[in-house]
Structure 1
Amino acid sequence: MSEVDDAIAAARASWSRIAGDAEPVPARRAARRNQPLGRRLKRIAIADAAILAAAMVIGMILPTGIGIMGAVAVMALLIAATVVFAVWPAENAAPPRPEKLREVDLRALPAQTERWLQAQRRALPAPAQHLVDRIGDRLDTLSPQLGRIEPEGEQALEIRRLVGEQLPAFVADYARVPEPLRRVERNGRTPDGALVDGLGVIEREIAGMTERLAQGDLDSLQTRGRFLEMKYQNDR
């Protein structure tokens, strides 16, 4: 029974990753955008705690404590540390360059593409920003599946073409359009509209890739389910 249970659990997990991402998860989306802020706040907290701890130790050692001047110095250090770490660039803050995405390990490709895409987010119109968030969620769902496929196989090449090449190239093409022309209709569609339509196609295709990769688990779930019904329900 353990093998049956394991197969069913794996299939349900795969399906929940697909179906559960039909809508973007606000908490996950906010966490992605707030990662640099979180790192800065953590640095500030650590630096301020170290300054206060050092001041306490010095105050215990000195017979007269740190005094008024020492307290002023501590306050100045706290302010300086807060300002410095508030503006200090977060580690690994620079997104990867689009041409580098073609060389990234397949399992790391969704995360790296998502970092690059999030860096472009503010320059995109609001409907496209919404789709960027959805694509980010789709990439989160796709990523765990990639360790199960052949890195040089046809599935891997298809994912590389879409996620590592076509998606960045498409957004980069839009970014090169002069801002005043992005809302000017051309051939029945504005560049803003073309961007939104194209991102929608990419989002749906990534979802389809994830479902195809999970097809074996989904088939296994159905097969095992029928086996359980035949073996245990029909035996009663």
Structure 2
Amino acid sequence: MSVPTQTDEAVVAARRTVDRVRGAPVVQTQRAPARGGRGGVKQRAALIALANAAILIAAGLFGGIVMPLGMFGALAVMLLMLATTLVIAFAPATPVPSPERIARAEIKALPAATQRWLDAQRPALPAPAVRVVDRIGAQLDTLRVQVGALDDDAPAAAEVRRLVGEQLPEFVRDYQKVPPALRTTPRNGKTPDQQLADGLGVIERELHEMSEQLAQGDLDALATRGRFLEIKYQGE
């Protein structure tokens, strides 16, 4: 989706709850993406543990400061933990956005939407390309924060949209059109698998430069550089 998933948001909320009951300051942080699939078993298990820990800490503080919980209070806490566990465990997964939906996403939501789509393609990508996808994911995490200050109709936003919302998904889809049996067959000195990894590396470097220009506030340079990804598969 174009924003963090419900599971991701619940993880952050649970962590903030634990911080509050411990008296620690709440720090606004960006989530660390779970590569290789979002909302998976490990992530949900971690969320269940965090949420139940927050409930136990809150119940302990209430019982120690306000009034003892008693048998019925303890039972209520157990039921609340059970309900929380079931809700998190069986929460439906959020659909992966399509490239067409990504192209229409607001600039503020674009990096997150592209990242979710890209993560969903990982199982079908060769190992060298997956390693580059991980690095691209880190760049998109950074970019997601930076584009928050851009307007959708800003020239710099158009450059971000071109690379993140159009060229990156299109490049991966071009690779996916190649029959699996031909992806390891050299053509013009390189296999499609190698071309994919190399092309993703170009995109990664473009994203890095884009992020640096946004960090420096050099929006004019970003909007006028006019670079286009030209690495494409030729023929079938």
Q: How high is the TM-score relative to the length of structure 1?
A: 0.59
Question: For the residues of structure 2 that align with 1:180 and 1:83, how far apart are their CA atoms?
Answer: 43
- Match of 2:93, SS? coil
Matches within 5 A, 1:77-96: 88=90, 90-92=92-94, 94-96=95-97
Write out per-residue CA displacement over residues 161-182 of structure 1, whole angstroms, 9 at most, x where no aligned residue: 1100110111111112111100
- Match of 1:102, SS? helix
Match of 1:38 in 2: 43
Verify: 1:145 aligned to 2:146, yes or no: yes
Match of 1:119 in 2: 120
- Asked whether the equivalents of residues 96 and 115 of structure 1 are also in contact (C-alpha less than 8 Å), the reply is yes
Question: For the residues of structure 1 that align with 2:108 and 2:96, how far apart are their CA atoms?
Answer: 17
RMSD of aligned alpha carbons? 3.5
Matches within 5 A, 1:100-139: 100-139=101-140
- Asked whether the equivalents of residues 111 and 140 of structure 2 are also in contact (C-alpha less than 8 Å), the reply is yes
Where does structure 1 lack aligned partners over 5 or more consecutive residues? 1-26, 50-55, 61-77, 218-236
- Asked whether the equivalents of residues 29 and 133 of structure 1 are also in contact (C-alpha less than 8 Å), the reply is no
Question: For the residues of structure 2 that align with 1:146 and 1:134, how far apart are their CA atoms?
Answer: 18
Question: For the residues of structure 2 that align with 1:89 and 1:180, how far apart are their CA atoms?
Answer: 38
The percentage of aligned residue pairs carrying the same residue is: 50
**How far off is 1:185 after superposition?**
0.6
Asked which structure has the greater CA Rg, the reply is 1
Higher relative contact order (CA 8 A, sep 6+): 1
Matches within 5 A, 1:62-211: 88=90, 90-92=92-94, 94-211=95-212
- Asked whether the equivalents of residues 102 and 160 of structure 1 are also in contact (C-alpha less than 8 Å), the reply is yes
Q: How high is the TM-score relative to the length of structure 2?
A: 0.59
Higher helix proportion (structure 1 or 2)? 1
**How far off is 1:213 after superposition?**
1.0
Question: For the residues of structure 2 that align with 1:32 and 1:178, how far apart are their CA atoms?
Answer: 23
- Asked whether the equivalents of residues 35 and 119 of structure 2 are also in contact (C-alpha less than 8 Å), the reply is no
Task: Identify if the C-alpha distance between structure 1 residues 44 and 142 changes in structure 2 by more than 3 Å, giving closer, same or farther.
Answer: closer
In the alignment of these two chains, the number of paired residues is 166
